[in-house]
Structure formats: C-alpha cells, structure tokens
Structure 1
Amino acid sequence: MKKLKLLLYLSLLLCAFSNARAADISQRIDSLMNALSQRGQFSGSILVAVGGKVIYRNGFGEADREAHIPFRPNTVSCIGSLAKQFTSMAIMLLAEQDKLQFDDPVTKYVPEINTFAEGITIRHLLTHTSGIPDVGDLGIDNPRLNNDLVIKTLQGYKANVAKMFMAPGLKYRYSNTGYMLLDVITERLSGQNRDDFMLQQVFHPLQMADTFVWVGKSSNPKNAALGYTPYGDLNRGVTGGVYSTVDDLFKWENALSTEKLVHKATLDIAYTPYPVKEGTSTYGFGWNITAKDGNQFIWHTGNTGTYRAFIGRMLPERIAVIMLTNKGISKRMEINEAIVNMIHKKPYEMPKISIAEHLDMLIKQEGIDKAIEKYQSYQTNDTKNYDFAESELNSLGYELMSKRKGKEAIRIFELNTIAYPTSSNAFDSLAEAYYNIGNKELAIKYYKKALELDPKNLSSLGMLKKLKP
C-alpha cells in the first residue's frame, strides 16, 4: 500500500512538473510570437503541441484589415501545398484498397501522356522525381489552371521535345504538375471528384469540419482570412485550393500518429525520401523528411497567392508546430526552429527581417538610389538582422513590376544577379523586366544568360522562341 501511495505521489509530482514546464514553454513562445507580430513578421495563427497535447495556441494580426477582424486560431486560411499531404494520402488509401501500386507506370492510368512518360511511376510523382516540369516552367501557372489543362499541355510534348525533361528518378524537382496528375489518378480510380473523395475519406472521418476545397471562380470563401502582400496590399485575386484551420490540421497530425487512415507500414514508406541518382532529396510522399536533434523531422510549407502555411512534426517526441498566415513573406522554418529549440532547452535566434520589405519602405520614402545605397551598406555591415536570400530581391522586383515601376524593378533584379551570379532564375527575372518595358535586345541577352546557367530553364527557352526574329 505504501508503495502504491509513493508511485501515485511521484506520478502527481511528475504531472505537476510537466504542467509547469509546458506553461513555461508556452510563455516563452508567446513572448517570441508577440515580438514577431510587433515587428510585422507574423500575421496568422499558430498551434504547438507536445506528446499529442496542445501547449500553445494563438492568433496575431488581422484576418481582414479593413474590417479589423482579428486572425484567431479558428480562422480559416488557405494551406497551399500542405494539400500535397492529402493528395498523397488519397493515393495511399487507394493502394491499401488494392486499386494501385506505388510503382505502377503513370501511363496505366493517364495514357494520354504516353508519348513521353515512359518509365515514370506513381512513386516518382509522389516524390517529385518524375522529371516533369512545374506548371510555371510549362507556362500554365494561371488562375484557370485545372487537371484538363495539365493533361492537354503535356499531350503537346512529343518524345523529342520531352528530352528537355529530366529522366525519372534522376533528380528531385518540385512539380505541382506531378501532383495534379495524382489528382487525376485519384478521380479515375475512385470514380469520385477529388474534392468529394477528400471529404468522405479524410476530412469527415477526422471531424475536420472547417477544412474544405475551394474552387470559387469569382470570390474567396466567406469568413476566410484575406491575403496581403508583404508590402501591405490586399491580394484581390481569387485563391483556390484547400482551406483549413490550425485546429483542424492538429486533428490531421494526431491521426497520422495512429492507423485511423492507413497502416503504419504504409506511412513508413511515405516517410522515406526517394534515393535519387544525382544530388540529394529529402522528399517522401507529400512530406520532407530530415533529422533534427536525433529525431525524425517531417515537415512541409505551403505558399499560394499571399497565403503561407507550415506543419512540422518531430518524431517520436510528437512535437508539432502548425502555422497559417495571410502575409506573403513569413519566416515559418525559422519560427519552428526557435520553438523546437525552446522545447529542447537550447538557445534560439530571432528570425531575420525581410530585406525586401525594408527596401520597399526605403524606396517609397527616399527613392531607389538611396535604397540601393543602404542595401549595400546592410549587406556589408548587418547580415545578422536582415535576410538576403535570393528570393527576397526577386519578390521585390516582381512587386515593383506589378505596380508598373519597370525601371526600379530592373535595378532590383540587377542587384540580385550581382548577389547571385550563378542563378538562372535571377537572370530570367531580369530578362522579363526588360521584356516588360519593351527592351527586346536586353531581354534576349539575359534570357540567353539564364539558359547558359541552366540549359533546361523552360521559361527562358519559351521566351527566346517567342522573341526570335
């Protein structure tokens, strides 16, 4: 009896310690998120869980700035490419129903693309190793994009042209095109519209009542967060895709720790990166898989329109960090890193400030020349506080182009080619800016430079064909 009382006492003590530790971590996370919100680095919702239990859940900023509606944890927002987890789950469900195998040829289910798709399997599509270019490289990344357009476009690539595509299994190459083909396969094998399949097979069984697929043509869903550019402008375009909340995504994360949807053996396959022949890949079935602090770290980001999303899972500790934001640039990976370090009692760094947002403000206040002068000073003296990634200046350049400030955009893109002289994309963007102001000669020059750096840059290839005398 004394032993039992002692065990009970120790159990209660451990529980009290655990609760106190969770409260301490929660406070520290709250301090971090409030600081990021005040610095303009986070607008959205966040949920953190350890061992399947929520230790932090909050919202920051506004879901609708005009109406001053706060962004809360139950605010619905677009999840972007997190939806690839649901697409891959649909394929896993069909595999467990013996309707397909992962190494089946894609042409077995989509024969329309057999002119070039020999050797491409479903596994290749799932792991972004099919060699099929992304929708942007195919010139079909637009609001009217659908599965029929993807198939029609791919049908146009005969075997000789498709030699420009990488061989299946050779390298990792992110491809939304490949995932749209997986949606086609799901529909053909299930006999259902993809959205109905998701509702019946995943969302309803997991009681994800605030998760749905939006295909609205004229407006975004009611009561969902509105999206804003990093530069403060409302995104007035319609953003289709899967919408959800951090609460619903936590239900999804919990389900993946069970066999509620598919068997553990199937999930183990999903959490295995494809062994590419060239380079490296961390991508399994709809997830990146890496190692962190001796744990398996499974994660994915979502970027569509001005919406951003993130889900990170540390196994076997079951640390989950889920974020949804309605602002174009957000340091989700860095925020996750800081939170995981807090949980592991390690030091962390504040996510860096976007140099693009800061430069935009300087351009408005002081003009392009002064802004570039200060950029060069920061680049020399303040790399600790500012993010100088290639994507930063590229984003700002396109922002200036969208506002018909072509000359300023060119100055920014030129800065990026100096900072990243081996980037084909940087020169492709500069060429596009020259094309937009009508300077055909310099557009051709820089598209050629982009191709010199990457002979398989389909965007530059297409534009040079268009600009050919």
Structure 2
Amino acid sequence: MKLTKPTILLVLVMLFLHCSNYLFGQLANESLESDINSIIREWDNKNSPGGIIGVIKNGEMIYSKSFGMANLEYDIPISSQTVFRIASLSKQFTAACILLLEEKGKLSLHDPITKYFPILPEYANTITLKHLIHHTSGIRDFFKLAELSGHQVSDNFSDEEVMELIARQNTLNFVPGEEELYNNSGYFLLAQLVKITSGKSIREFAHEEIFLPLNMENTHFHDNNKMIVKNRAAGYSSSTNGGFEINMSNLSIIGDGGLFTTLEDLTKWQNNFFNNILPVKDFQNRMFNRGKLNNGTVLDYAFGLEHGNYNGLPIVSHGGAFVGFRSEILMFPEQEISIICLANLSNIKPHIINKKVADIFLRKEYSNLSGSVKKVSYSDSKKSVKLNSNIFNEYQGKYELSNGIVVDISAQNDQFFANIIGQTKFEIFPESANKFFVKDTDLQFSFMQGNSSKLHLILVHLYGKIVLGRKLKVESQFSEEVLHEYSGTYYNEELNIAYRLLIENAKLFVQVGNKPKQAIGLISKDKAVLEDSMAEFKRNKFGQIQAFQLESGRVKNLIFVKND
C-alpha cells in the first residue's frame, strides 16, 4: 500500500502527539514521585518503619505509595495489604454501627444511656447516645483514669474492668451538653451498646453489616490479643540510641479504637461515603452531622469525624495514635478526594503528611481560591537557629495561659520541649533568641520580659489567634516544717487508689503504688503541678488541708481525701 503525503503527515502528527503525551505524562509522574519522595524520604528505606499513603478520587484509588518496613526483624516491607492498627480512626466505624442500628429501629440517638446501662450512677440519666457520639457527655476518659490509678496506657483490660471503672465515677467532668471534651469512654460504651441491642459483639456486627457488604476482607475489630493477624505491621518508636524499638500493646478494648485494617480496605470504606452502598439513607450527611451544645453552639465534631478547613477548602478528617501506630483519613468532600496515611512509627505525623500530599494534588483548587483566603503550605518549613542554652534556661518553667491551660517549657540534651499539662510533650525549635516554632504546624511560642527582669510572659500563636500567659513561680524547695502540712495519704474512692505525699530533702513528692516518685511543684499555697496534672488543695475553716482536687487532661474534679 502506497502512503500519500497527507497520510504520512497525519501519521507523523499522531505519532508526535502520542510521544508528546507520553513525555508530558512521564514528566508529570516523575514530578509527582519527586514531590512525594521529598515528604517520606526520612523513612523510605529498609532500616526504618514507615507507612503508606493513598489518594482516592470519588471512591477510586488514583495514587498510592508505600515506604519503610512493616517488620524490621524479618525485613518485610510495607504494602497495600499491610494491616495497621488505626487507633481512634476506628471511632467512625463505631458511629456507623450506631447509625445502622438506628436504621433497624433498635435504638434512638436521643435515648438516655441508663436505658442500656443501669449500672451507671444517677447522673447518667441526663446523658444521651448523642452526647456519647459528640464527646459532650462529661464522662471521664477511662484511659486517663487507668493511668491515674497506676496502670500503663498499653496494659490490657477486660470490658468488665473498664465498665466497672466508669461506673465507679461519682461525678462528671461537666454537665452533659455544656462542653465538649474528647474522650474514649463514650465510644467504649457505644461498642457495648452494639452488643446489648443486636445480641452480637461489635466485631461480629461490623463484620456482617459493614465489612462483608463493602468487601473489606482484611479489616476487623481486634478483641482478642492472642489472635494471629496475617500481614500485620509491628509498631515502633525511636529509641534513645538512635535506632528503633518495638512499641506494641496487648490491649483488646474496642470501639474507641482497636480496628485493624489496610489501605485497600479503607479505599472501599471511602467509596461508601461517596456512593452510599451501606443501607443507611444519606450516609455521608448522617456521618457528617455535627453535634451541638445546650446553648446551640455547633461543634466541629460529628460521628467519629471532625470538620475543618484547609486553604479555604472544607475538610472532614480524623486521626489515630496509639503505641507505635499513627493514622489519618483526610477528606475534601467538595472535591470528592480523600487522602489516607497509615504508619507504624510513633513520630510519623499522618495529619501533616496528608496535608503535604493535598498541597500536591489540589494545586489547581488552591489557585482558584479567592485572594482573601490565607493559604498555608505544609511543604514550607521554617529554619531553626542555634541558641545559647543560657538564654533558654531563663525560659524554662511552667506558664499559665489566660485560658487556664498550663504549659511546661523544658530542655533536654540541647533540645527544647513544650508540654501542655495532661497532654503529650513536643519539641519546639528556635527561630530567633525569643521565638520558637513547632515543625509542620502554625503553633509558635514567643517569650517576652515582663515588668520584672525575672518575669517572662509567653505568647502562644496558633492560626492567627494569640493567647497570653505568665510564668508561674514554682516553689520546689521549702523547709520540712512548711511542707509537713501537705504530707500524708490521700485516697480517691472512684479510682480506689491512694496517693502518698512525702518529703525528701526538703522537697515534696507523690508516690502512686509502685510507680517512681514524682516531684510536686507548689505554684501557690494551695496549687501544685505534678508531672502532667494540676492539684488544688482544699482546707477546712481552720485552714487545715483536708483534700486536693486533681485535673489531668480528660479527667477533671477528682477529689483525693486526706486520711492522716
């Protein structure tokens, strides 16, 4: 067959276009891989734990990338079939079970919880299932209660032990519906509720009603710590010698956490948000439905999910953190895009990684935003400077913010840290002699000199908001005569635990069971700071100490009565 000149030209044009598309596509893919690799480079090797990233568009996976090792002992790399513990990311599955039960007519979100849990004290009459869903119940967090009782957070407990611990609490953190405070007890109770109303454990119910219909073959609520899980990732933390150490738990409490799953299965879960496969009408809107306080204030927290905004775009997300595992699902509902990151190393931050990935995949959406929208790029990190340790020594101490939160500023081995009392300690980096930042966030600390040369103020900056604080004068050393009135044994009936306050070398310490002693720093005559708690001493009309009230993160108003 003889080709004419026009035919040859047409073939050449088509060939050119094909080659061009291939070349541009290849360049685009190379650019994408380069951008992603810059985010995960630290862990993308055979000697480090790592994670996996997935980008889903309208329920379909459009990009995935695994990095690091699922098991360092056996040199097993992470893959899309690797099973991760996802901690509090599990809460949305528990919430979905409750919606399915409501759809079946087994319960109402307005039911008082005493309808199902008569063991709970009288105060529970005013708590509804909705309060549990949205963290507005006022019930104390069982993890923190266990910790205050002398247990390790990673210890295993039976359902009966947790239920008994919750039932022993005589008071709440606050009146139901008046405040919001994230806690795990509510979702533990919701998991128990599934069994009460369906006759099946939440593991069985979720398997039959969610995981089978969605073909999530490698997902389960892990209620048996002896169970062998194929392709399971080990959890790790960084060790002090510069390597890694195993960080796992035998905990089998589920509902608040405890889901084991894979990136592949979570992709199917995300598909249900946009294509409503499960028999819950308007599933996405039901799950996205926000809670409300008694005064009508609309909360960001929905059904195991939290609303927010990133670079002018509405987002819905939730994360998980427990022992060596970290996880997050970040949804952009209007763009029908979800980004998932699962990790098996405790210092990997999926909520930061996901936003950096969003910066790559949503560039076009960002460019269409109004100029008035302040854009944040998690890919741009500030540079830290070398700081004279003598300067930082002046900043070290505890600061009370205007909102009542206490922040502890400390140093260790030429590193600087901030610890919100009752929460997790995190590293801060000097930007200048008096300004510090937290990597990959908008959180900043500024130190100023007050009216006295020895008084420092702290300004905490977060997303355009500034909170002022003042340095507390912690009197760590008194005469034994002065300290004597604080010493003694203090008992709390709700925890069934005694705290022993004792004096050593003119310093005050607290001893809880067999745990190491902790120093107590007196802020004033009747206020003291423990390692991660605040205590306020209560006196009778004669000025004698009778008790102290303890607040520690997700637990408030615990009264310890002095016995001697």
2:539 aligned with 1:465? no
Conserved 8 A contact 1:130-1:167: yes
Higher-Rg member (1/2): 2
2:194 aligned with 1:189? no
Conserved 8 A contact 2:290-2:302: yes
2:535 aligned with 1:451? yes
Conserved 8 A contact 2:55-2:63: yes
2:32 aligned with 1:32? no
The amino acid across from 1:457 in the alignment is: E
Conserved 8 A contact 1:272-1:289: no
Alignment partners' CA distance in 2, 1:64 and 1:184 = 33
Which structure ranks higher in relative contact order (CA pairs < 8 Å, sequence separation ≥ 6)?
Answer: 1
Distance change in 2, residues 1:437/1:125 (3 Å): closer
3-state SS in 2 of match to 1:233 = strand
Q: Which residue number in structure 2 is paired with residue 405 of structure 1? A: none
Q: How does 1:67-466 map to 2 (within 5 A)?
A: 67-139=74-146, 141=153, 143-157=155-169, 161-162=170-171, 164-218=172-226, 221-231=229-239, 232-240=244-252, 241-277=258-294, 281-345=299-363, 348-350=377-379, 370-372=413-415, 378=430, 380=432, 383=436, 386=439, 435=511, 437-438=516-517, 442=521, 445-447=528-530, 450-452=534-536, 457=551, 465=560
The amino acid across from 1:310 in the alignment is: E
Alignment partners' CA distance in 2, 1:351 and 1:120 = 45
The structure carrying a bigger strand percent of its residues is: 2
Conserved 8 A contact 1:46-1:73: no
> Structure 1: any 5+ residue segments left out of the alignment?
1-8, 356-367, 391-416, 425-430
Shift of 1:286: 0.8
Shift of 1:467: 7.9
**Which is worse superposed, 315-324 or 218-227?**
218-227
Conserved 8 A contact 1:44-1:71: yes
Shift of 1:224: 0.7
Conserved 8 A contact 1:78-1:243: yes
Conserved 8 A contact 1:45-1:60: yes
Distance change in 2, residues 1:298/1:63 (3 Å): same
Kindly provide the CA deviation profile for residues 436-464 of structure 1, in whole angstroms up to 9, marking residues without a partner as x. 54366659942497135996615887998
The amino acid across from 1:223 in the alignment is: N
- CA RMSD for the aligned pairs? 4.4
> Structure 2: any 5+ residue segments left out of the alignment?
1-13, 148-152, 253-257, 367-375, 385-410, 418-426, 444-457, 461-467, 473-500, 502-507, 538-547
Kindly provide the CA deviation profile for residues 91-136 of structure 1, in whole angstroms up to 9, marking residues without a partner as x. 0001111111111111112222142202111111111111111113
The amino acid across from 1:450 in the alignment is: M
Shift of 1:32: 3.0
3-state SS in 1 of match to 2:414 = helix
Alignment partners' CA distance in 1, 2:346 and 2:266 = 20
**Which is worse superposed, 220-229 or 247-256?**
220-229
3-state SS in 2 of match to 1:196 = helix
Distance change in 2, residues 1:205/1:20 (3 Å): farther
Conserved 8 A contact 2:276-2:283: no
Shift of 1:255: 1.2
3-state SS in 1 of match to 2:106 = coil
Kindly provide the CA deviation profile for residues 61-109 of structure 1, in whole angstroms up to 9, marking residues without a partner as x. 1111122211122211111111111100100001111111111111112
Residue identity over aligned pairs, in percent, reads: 24
Conserved 8 A contact 2:222-2:260: yes
Alignment partners' CA distance in 2, 1:202 and 1:99 = 17
Conserved 8 A contact 2:94-2:190: yes
What is the aligned length? 412
TM-score, normalised with respect to structure 2: 0.62
The amino acid across from 1:129 in the alignment is: T
Kindly provide the CA deviation profile for residues 185-241 of structure 1, in whole angstroms up to 9, marking residues without a partner as x. 111111112111111111111111111222333577343111101332112543542
Conserved 8 A contact 1:42-1:330: no
